[in-house]
Structure 1
């Protein structure tokens, strides 16, 4: 699947394709799993619940956010792949973060959960044939081929790991 298969290109999809650097869906998800395995849990544990700015999420909340949103995108993919209908209009990530108990869960547990969810997403997208992957998905303000949902999962992780590298790792002093 390629960028040119997009029916209508929401603004964020350009960012998704850029972050995935032209990788195929299968390659993007494989590389994202490798990045999870490279996370330095000990370094993140030293940072703990510190944030780089008031009212920003903790590392725990960021990892939980990745898990939650991967599950949401996976649900959307299944709904569209099975021609079941539509998905809820939107979800509020701030409400979800505020109401999670992520700060009570050890980072190594959250990262293991993220790894398992990613493995599940890889199998989910592998189960879709070419026609399903090209299914046009319309929801909320978006329209995209189904394979782009998988690329969004990988790009979402890239985005947040970049934020962690740039803004949180300097807190490990």
Structure 2
């Protein structure tokens, strides 16, 4: 099944290459679960204050970054489902900064953010478990660009990896 979910160049906007490249040669399905534990490990033993301090003026706090990851995964899960089901309309883009501003992530307890992440990942796995190869390959238009259902999965995995690298290196 993992070969089925690996997108090829041209199945997504080149903007997403940095995220898709994180998933090359990896067990995408296994990472849906493994990244839950990874996030828990990264956040373990952090002080409450740590979650509210951006690494630089104008950047997100760790809570906002985690919330952004959750929002983005929900949006890409919707895109994945829509494309797998043959959506013919254009799926819109979104402004990540506006979403973070409107979400009030700094007011949400870390435990609840982790629960949201876990539930989102379990829901994603449940959603795709019965997708056929054809479902994963289906393409449509997202934010004016071609995208396949399987590219959405690779982007979810790579986007998470990108932001965990940011947490490890900058916070």
Match of 1:22 among 9, 25, 39: 25
TM-score of the pair, normalised by structure 2? 0.86
**Contact 1:51–1:58 (Cα < 8 Å) also in 2:** yes
2:136 corresponds to 1:133: yes
Contact 1:28 1:151 in 2 (8 A): no
| 1:164 corresponds to | 167
Pairing partner for 1:61 from 53, 61, 64: 64
For residues 43 and 64 of structure 1, the distance between their equivalents in structure 2, rounded to whole angstroms, comes to 17
Asked if the contact 1:9–1:144 (Cα under 8 Å) also holds between the matched residues in 2, the reply is: yes
Extract unaligned runs of 5+ from structure 2: none
Partner of 1:96: 99
Runs of 5+ unmatched residues, structure 1: 169-173
| Alpha-carbon distance in 2 for matches of 1:146, 1:65 | 21
Aligned length: 168
Normalized against structure 1, the TM-score is what?
A: 0.85
State the alpha-carbon separation in 2 of the partners of residues 143 and 164 from structure 1: 31
User: Shift of the alpha carbon at 1:98?
Assistant: 0.8
